[in-house]
Structure 1
Amino acid sequence: MVTLRRTRRLAAVAMPLAAAGLLTACVPGTSGKEMAQTAAAGPVVTDPAKMGQARIRLLDYFTGGADLTWINDVVAAFEKKYPNITVERSSMPWDDVMKALPLRLRSANPPDIVPANNGWQSLGTLVQGGLVRNLDGYASAYGWSTKFPASILRQHQFSADGRQMGTGSVFGAPVARASAIQVYYNRTLLSRIGTTVPKTFADFEAALAKAKSAGITPISMGNLEQVGITGPLFATMDALGRQSRISDFVYSQNAVKVADTGFPQAGAAMKQWADKDYFTKDFSAVPGQDAAQAFVDGKALFRFDYSGSLPLKKGQSTNFGSFLMPRADGGHAVATASSATNFSISAKSAHPDAAAAFMNFAAGPEAAQIAADNTTMPLLATVKPAGDDPLFADDVDAAAQLSANDASVPYLDWATPTLLTTIQTQMQDMLAGKVAPDAVVQSAQADYDKFQKTLGK
């Protein structure tokens, strides 16, 4: 499973990237804009048989569990299909990769494929630095614009100068595994309060009230590390805001402000839940993993978490289910989601055609089925769930909804390198009654405006 990988991804502060000089630095002798433009020039080869013998080096952060099994199985399947191409993997923990990636890409012999994070935390600065390759030629040749939902492909697009996200050229590609913020529920406790899986936001809030009345903790949350707040906040935004507005804010389009995204309404809803004691008691002092374990132990009705992140032991999943947070207006659910990792090609790669061939394979239906066979949430293809695990069946259904409805929403914190920290600290203070909800919105907008000035906007 993807245990804590996405949580750590959200928690990673991107200032080390800026400190490394990537907002202005680039490969010697070129500007980031020139490198990005020239990388897209010339024909590309998509037939591996015409690539000759090639060895490509892949850097990832899959160090154990189903993550490691999936990537190893994908590499093995790719090498079996294309025996002239060898994939040489190396892996590091998530935090270590994010710290090392800028320098690795600027070295004389960087990996061919790297797991650049979405947003300004990583990919945007790497594009500005001219350190990752423009993939427009491959996107066109492989048909990524039709193969990937637009809301997923957009997460990998930047203008050639790296100043505009969510539009322009393609600098990365998803893999056929999803990572989404979902609502997990305890089947026994849901039955005990006499209700069913919520179909509307009003149904969800009604279930919270029933659970509290029955002496059951409605929502399991631990926020000691100041990470636990973002899951419920973003999912509630998805229910109360509009997909287009959230996306436009993150991508700096159409002059959308944070107040237009559903952020104020989501913050207000969470404040009401906190005032009604719907969250784990003393949640601000509870470690996130302790709250997750308490949920698995049957001590709460709901938990907001990332795909595959529950600390379940074999056989425990049968008493749990998951769903995407239902919208207040009754429309199809949208969810803050992306692929479980995102790959980009080094600007210095000697084998970009082979690297792109592997990335296309890792985003294909065979890789999605490998994910399902390992009971990890697939993406980008319709697959059959492995076995008869009802929780995993829910995950597969959620992934299918995201693809069919093009319903992914970018993570709000991608909008600036520091917005995550601003949101976490301000939301914590707001839930504790130390600042007003309006102050949280104002702080988030101020963070956004400050970063826009650094981009010359």
Structure 2
Amino acid sequence: MKRQLIAAVGVAAMVVGVAACSSDGDKTSDAGKATGGSSKAADYSGKTLTVWFMDGSNPKQWTTDLTAAFEKQYPGAKLKIEVQGWNGIGQKVTTALSEDTPPDVLEIGNTQTASYAATGGLMDLTADKSSLGGDNWAENLNKASVYDGKQYAAPWYFANRVVIYNKKLWSKAGLSDTPKTLDEFYDDLGKLNKTSGVDQALYLPGQEWYTYFGLVLSEGGSVAQLSGDKWVGALDTPAAKAAFQTYAKLQSFSKAPKDKDEATPQQSDVFAKGNVGAMIGLGWEAGGAITANPALKDDIGYFPLPSKEAGKPAGVFLGGSNLAISANSKNPELAKGFLKLALSDQFEGAMAKEAGIVPNNPQLNDQAKDNPFAVAAIAASASGATTPGVPEWAAVENTPNPIKDFLTAALQGKDYDSTAKKYDDEMNKRLSQKQ
């Protein structure tokens, strides 16, 4: 799911921008305290807490400050941060969690959490939720940290797609403000397509299923739903059909291929050419466009994709990362202490400010007020959700992704109802396979 989801959020938003062996178990009851621990230095002498972060997820200053705070709070202990690459990370984590000396703390994608929890690889944090700050976590952000009614991880940070637009081209088209409704957005896109120098008003590939997911939310539905105690595909529902009509209309303003996703070609490279009015994407994609074409730096703006209702953003897919503790960690209380620090208002707020992400606690949203991408993303995040929190969902996203293939077929003119049923059947088959 995540691929490069937040891998360059800090760069993308034009700002700056953790498995391995642990020593013997923690013996001190005070180890889980987030601040003001009174333990003696000898209690932690020789201990090493290993944390896995994904490439691009831990901003430099945030990491430096967190390390210093952790090692000050737990004298004698060392924090060992290991940054992992995305390629093959699923199997690497699965293998690590099955070993006797796994990483103590891991960053895991929010849609991956249920899969790892189901194998018994993650520590049950239900009794620790409040002490970790969980009473203030946004419910829709925390949902992916819960499996089978238990808390197996803590929500860390999130990002969702917004409209990234070329202000120079919008001005050339006579557009002085951003749209507040979908109809206004359609009108703006029509004007852009009639403007000299604009190759396409909106770059929206046919298989950008994350945007479609959000549009289904806007219609009060989901791409999958519970039927009894089983998750089943819901592409044949009225909500999904209405969302597709919106998606198809948006796609009609685009020259993007109907049978490719946002990474084929990379949409930030297309936007970087400077002749595309807008794209729907993540902050790092804006950053990628600026890297490819520095002249765009002052020409990029952001706003939430509007819904049919004035002033209300469309639904969004909430992608992000959770922090979890390995069930076999040799330093469980020390690991909980690390989580308390990382998730504290101080460090969660600093993360939002430095990386321009959506924090787990809405009370900290103001920390990202100077980051234009984050401001737009936060405005839409309240209307967001993620995929079903079951381990079987991972199979749905495996190639070939049936939601992607459904979108291509429907955009190419196939009968909606029969096409939706075909791909619902494929989702049902995958969702019924025990992981």
* TM-score normalised by structure 1 residue count: 0.74
Map 1:89-168 → 2, pairs under 5 A: 89-119=81-111, 122-144=112-134, 146-159=135-148, 168=149
Match of 2:193 among 212, 231, 235: 212
With over 3 angstroms needed to count, the CA separation of the structure-2 counterparts of 1:440 and 1:79, relative to structure 1, is farther
SS at the partner of 1:151? helix
Match of 1:445 in 2: 424
Cα 1:424–1:90 shift into 2, 3 Å: same
**Identity over aligned pairs, percent:** 14
Which deviates the most, 130-139 or 187-196? Answer: 187-196
Matches of 2:276 and 2:340, distance apart in 1: 41
Residues 372 and 343 (structure 1), Cα distance of their counterparts in 2 relative to 1, 3 Å cut: closer
Q: Any gaps of 5 or more consecutive residues in structure 1?
A: 9-41, 160-167, 387-391
C-alpha deviation, 1:231, in angstroms? 3.7
- Residue in 1 aligned with 2:282? 306
Contact 2:114 2:389 in 1 (8 A): no
Change in 2 beyond 3 A, CA 1:447/1:345? farther
Alpha-carbon deviation of 1:371?
A: 3.1
Give ranges in structure 2 of 5+ residues lacking alignment. 8-28
- Counterpart of 1:6, as a letter, is L
Answer yes or no: is the 8 Å Cα contact 1:270–1:431 preserved in 2.
no
The question of 1:430 aligning with 2:410 is answered yes
| TM-score normalised by structure 2 residue count | 0.77
1:88 aligned residue: 80
CA distance in 2, matches of 1:345, 1:451: 28
Is 1:241 aligned with 2:202? Answer: no
Closer, same or farther: CA 287–149 of 1 in aligned 2, 3 Å: closer
Kindly indicate whether residue 331 of structure 2 is the aligned counterpart of residue 351 of structure 1. yes
Contact 1:250/1:412 (CA < 8 Å) preserved in 2? no
Cα distance in 2 between the residues matched to 1:155 and 1:416: 12
Report SS of the residue matched to 1:95: coil
- The answer to whether the 8 A contact 2:34-2:340 is kept is no
Q: Which one has the bigger helix percentage?
A: 1
CA distance in 1, matches of 2:146, 2:228: 13
Tell me how far apart the structure 1 counterparts of residues 281 and 226 of structure 2 sit (CA, whole Å).
21
Instruction: Measure the CA separation in 1 of the matches of 2:106 and 2:224.
Output: 27
SS at match of 1:333: coil
Counterpart of 1:6 in structure 2 is 5
The alpha carbon displacement at 1:47 in A equals 4.7
Check the 8 A contact 2:258/2:408 in 1, yes or no.
no
Shift of 1:211: 1.6
Partner of 1:280: 255
| Aligned mates of 2:191, 2:422 — CA distance in 1 | 34
Distance change in 2, residues 1:336/1:271 (3 Å): closer
1:236 counterpart letter in structure 2: L
Matches of 1:252 and 1:331, distance apart in 2: 36
RMSD (Å), alpha carbons:
3.6
Are the equivalent residues in 2 in contact too, given 1:174–1:339 (CA < 8 A)?
Answer: no
Alpha carbons of structure 1 residues 249 and 364: separation in structure 2 relative to 1, 3 Å? farther
Aligned residues of 2:164 and 2:278 also touching (Cα < 8 A): yes
Give the AA of the match of 1:266. A
| 2:307 counterpart (321, 324, 327) | 327
The residue type paired with residue 56 of structure 1 is L
State the partner residue of 1:33. Answer: none
Matching residue's letter, 1:115: E
**2:24 equivalent in structure 1:** none
Letter in 1 for 2:202: I
* 1:401 aligns to 2:379 (yes or no): yes
1:446 Cα deviation (Å)? 1.8
The higher relative CO (CA closer than 8 Å, separation ≥ 6) is in: 2
